[in-house]
Amino acid sequence: MTLLDVENLHVYYGQIHALKGITLHVDQGEIVTLIGANGAGKSTTLKTISGLLRPREGRITLSGLDLAALPAHEVVAKGVVQVPEGRRIFGQLTVHENLSMGAYTRTERDGIDGDLERIFTLFPRLKERRAQVAGTLSGGEQQMLAIGRALMSQPKVLLLDEPSMGLAPVLVEQIFETITGINQLGTTVLLVEQNAFMALQIARRGYVLQTGEIALSGSAKELQANAEVRKAYLGG
């Protein structure tokens, strides 16, 4: 069943035509990855889905519900949340305050407290540091916090923008394991990555983005085997 559906998306930065008709879909329960070089339009796609950028043309729907016309803060309430590139946690807020901001759109006290406990089980480090100012966390911990913060909104679809960026290889592996874990608990994931090798290992399907267009799509296995993909993104 298709959960998130993006059709013929055109986005401009002023005169620059950044996305030239992107069409993709994410089914319920999947991990789908969007790979491509720097500047191909991966982040732009996520920002448009999140409502930070307005498409000039095209449709974005979540189980049939139109998202393209909504402002960013309402998209979250509908169940699509993004972990932005470079983590961008609120450095001067405590870990606990960061997480509570993730649950900003929710009002049920009990549900929020329950989710907080779940996130602390998923990331015990965050529990230890819940009263600490988030800017003092290490890079890996900040990435955990960014993911935890997004999960606090109870998303149907989690958009992840380059979660491995700037992290040590050990941590990268850990973050990807976490993403798989979150997915197994029922959250659908759309993952943007430069680290195509890791992304294709955990994803079911993938899209290859090139200068604002989908150049290639298919199951993760197909893409891993594809000669062009191997050459361009997997190092031979």
Contact residues: another protein, CB under 8 A: 50-52, 71-74, 76-77, 81-82, 84, 88, 90-93, 97, 100-102, 104-105, 149, 153
Give yes or no for a contact between 90 and 118, defined as CB atoms under 8 angstroms apart.
no
Q: Nearer Cβ to another protein, position 187 or 224?
A: 187
Give yes or no for a contact between 36 and 209, defined as CB atoms under 8 angstroms apart.
yes
Q: Nearer Cβ to another protein, position 112 or 216?
A: 112
Count, residues in the chain: 236
| Both tokens assigned to 167 | 């992290």
One-letter amino acid for residue 101 of the chain: M
CB of 153 to another protein, least distance (A): 6
Q: Nearer Cβ to another protein, position 79 or 206?
A: 79
CB of 29 to another protein, least distance (A): 23
CB of 85 to another protein, least distance (A): 11
CB of 171 to another protein, least distance (A): 21
Give yes or no for a contact between 179 and 31, defined as CB atoms under 8 angstroms apart.
yes
Q: Nearer Cβ to another protein, position 52 or 122?
A: 52
Q: Nearer Cβ to another protein, position 90 or 197?
A: 90
**Whole-Å CA distances, 226 to 6, 209, 215, 218, 222:** 24, 15, 12, 10, 6
CB of 133 to another protein, least distance (A): 10
| Both tokens assigned to 2 | 């298709």
The Cα 165–Cα 148 span in angstroms is: 17
CB of 104 to another protein, least distance (A): 5
Q: Nearer Cβ to another protein, position 95 or 198?
A: 95
One-letter amino acid for residue 136 of the chain: T
Least Cα distance to 180 among 202, 197, 196 occurs for 202
Give yes or no for a contact between 223 and 206, defined as CB atoms under 8 angstroms apart.
yes
